[in-house]
Structure 1
Amino acid sequence: MFVTYILSKIRAYMRYRETVRELSQLSDRELDDLGISRFQIESIARQHATA
């Protein structure tokens, strides 16, 4: 059970990092088209990782 918990946390962190990386690669114009400000990237990634 503990191992399952740790693995789920690792997977969530990996999803978070991947989302941050992908959104960070977008230009400001592309982010604006999506309705995202650059300062929101980490927050959005955190929400995505826990969903």
Structure 2
Amino acid sequence: MAYTAHHGAVAPTSANRLSTLLNEFSARLQRYRKFRQTLGELNALNDAALTDLGLNRSMIRRVAYEAAYEH
């Protein structure tokens, strides 16, 4: 009786998983950076500028979150 094993599929699958994990991590990091940047920029505005944009200080975190995480 002959026995053969196919090991070629293991490496690409592992590589694909690693690639997927790295891509997901990169995307999450980019979204977080966008959130932090937007948060910082909005916090730097004075109240008059925020009012001109139709915002108040209590809305800043939500607006930054929406800009980064809700496409």
TM tier, smaller: over 0.9
Structure 2 length-normalised TM: 0.70
The answer as to 2:21 corresponding to 1:2 is yes
- The alignment yields a C-alpha RMSD, in angstroms, of 0.6
Which of 24, 29, 40 aligns to 1:21? It is 40
Instruction: Please give the per-residue CA displacement for 1:1-51, whole angstroms capped at 9, x wherever unaligned.
Output: 011001100000000000000000000010001000101101000000022
Where in structure 1 do 4 or more consecutive aligned residues deviate above 3 Å? none
Amino acid at match of 1:37: N
1:35 alignment partner, SS class: coil
Q: Once the two structures are aligned, what percentage of the paired residues are identical?
A: 29
- What corresponds to 2:3 in structure 1? none
Any unmatched runs of 5+ in structure 1? none
The answer as to 2:34 corresponding to 1:34 is no
Structure 1 length-normalised TM: 0.95
The answer as to 2:48 corresponding to 1:11 is no
More helix by share: 1
Measured in 1, the distance between the counterparts of 2:29 and 2:61 equals 17
Any unmatched runs of 5+ in structure 2? 1-19
- What corresponds to 2:64 in structure 1? 45
